[in-house]
A and B are shown apart, each in its own frame.
Chain A
């Protein structure tokens, strides 16, 4: 279980998080929605320790994330980055097996390659892709490779940062289905950031809306459409008029 309590973060004079309180139960798929620049990515980066909060507490299974041994702590996580963030200089299989080729989870090279190919197959890519380089792949294939890398070491928690951005609707649907299947199959906890309401409905068990550096609304995805909060209503229906300023 992940618990964020009163987390604040500022960059210079810009206050991004103003007291985020968020609880994600184990095995739950939480989707965080919100406008651009509302601090969704910073929230994830705070949990991962890529950004240190100014104040507040973040617990993973009851333990403060700041006190955990970094290598063992990070081994529990997988992350799919918005742009894939694949390493250009490494082949696809080396990207997928990156964590299995070094550090505490290191395996023999042949075994790591085998696992990488299996994970690639799991996300719908053929073994022939394994020896290609990221620059040779389409955007959708790069996302799948990023997804394969995120699940390569069977993490307990997976983060998805804008998983369908830049993809055509069909490929976005494929990625959404894959995420849902993999999360259910692995029993992992998932936190997804997205603007794409189709993704929200396909992936989420619960939805949290971040606005003004705080969680504005949180509830089961089934209650999202009936939500009376005007901020949520404006966001999920994409209305230009409403309490959220169109120009930020």
Chain B
């Protein structure tokens, strides 16, 4: 009976957490369209989340594109299909690997940082101070971060896609003896607008998830250094899991027909 009770408690705990996160995300969305707005905070976050994540996303895309080209070439050689390298690299990067790996890297960098910053603000009473200064913490802290992440992730992933395809191109041309012009032609011929749009839509969702998880766990951080540490870990873990789960759902929505 104790085991069953334990399983029940865990299950209820998970349901309760999902409910709390859903309410938090709904509140964040509702505050997005209600004044006051804090454009300066938004621009600061746009720079931090968007611009400063570019090296991480770019390097991830570059090496992933290169490795993907090698993998597809060696796998395709088993049934004489080496020529599909450019198109598979492009589709793989744009549809899946660009948004998912970009999302996971940004989750590691941004969700952790947001949770640590807001968690520290909470334990040092800065969140209470904001409230006493007539400033809603959700509007001042959460909305600029969520909006900045949701808008900047598609741009980051678009740049990452180009860099990833370039990674595949460099490996294809220098290591696998592809003709440079033919590689580019194959890439562009097989890539469709819907591939790009689906990837960017995923990126926007992942950006929303990353910032929302960072803010939620920061705002609900426990006391002291340990509490902030746990909030940081929870933010990264939950953002990563939600990115992978929502990626599957979005892929079903976009491509299952």
A residues whose Cβ falls under 8 Å from a Cβ of B: 45, 48-50, 70-71, 74-75, 77-79, 81-83, 85-88, 98-99, 102-105, 149
Contacts of B129 in A (CB 8 A): 79, 81, 85-87
Q: Which of B125, B126, B131, B133 has the largest count of A CB atoms less than 10 A from its CB?
A: B133
Q: Which of B121, B129, B132 has the largest count of A CB atoms less than 10 A from its CB?
A: B132
Q: Which of A74, A82, A85, A103 has the largest count of B CB atoms less than 10 A from its CB?
A: A85
| 8 A Cβ contacts from B112-162 to A | 121, 124-126, 128-129, 131-135
* Number of interchain pairs (Cβ within 8 Å): 48
Assess the B134–A104 pair: CB atoms within 8 A: yes
B residues whose Cβ falls under 8 Å from a Cβ of A: 36, 38, 121, 124-126, 128-129, 131-135
Known: A102-B38, A103-B36. A85 touches B134 (CB 8 A): no
Enumerate 16 A-B pairs (CB-CB under 8 Å) in ascending A order: A48-B131, A48-B132, A50-B131, A50-B132, A71-B134, A74-B132, A77-B132, A81-B128, A81-B129, A83-B124, A85-B124, A88-B126, A102-B36, A102-B38, A103-B36, A103-B135
Contacts of B126 in A (CB 8 A): 85-88
A166 to chain B, nearest CB (A): 13
Assess the B36–A85 pair: CB atoms within 8 A: no
Nearest A residue to B136 by beta-carbon distance?
A: A70
| Assembly CA distance A83 to B134 (angstroms) | 19
| Assembly CA distance A105 to B129 (angstroms) | 16
Contacts of A49 in B (CB 8 A): 131
B150 to chain A, nearest CB (A): 22
Assess the B132–A79 pair: CB atoms within 8 A: yes
Assess the B125–A74 pair: CB atoms within 8 A: no
Known: A50-B131, A102-B135, A104-B134. A83 touches B125 (CB 8 A): yes
A93 to chain B, nearest CB (A): 15
Q: Please pick, from B36, B38, B124, B133, the residue contacting A99 in the complex, using a CB distance under 8 A.
A: B133
| Assembly CA distance A149 to B128 (angstroms) | 14
Contacts of A98 in B (CB 8 A): 133, 135
B229 to chain A, nearest CB (A): 18
| Assembly CA distance A79 to B126 (angstroms) | 12
Q: Name the 8 nearest CB pairs between A and B, nearest first.
A: A85-B129, A85-B125, A74-B134, A79-B132, A81-B125, A103-B134, A99-B133, A71-B134
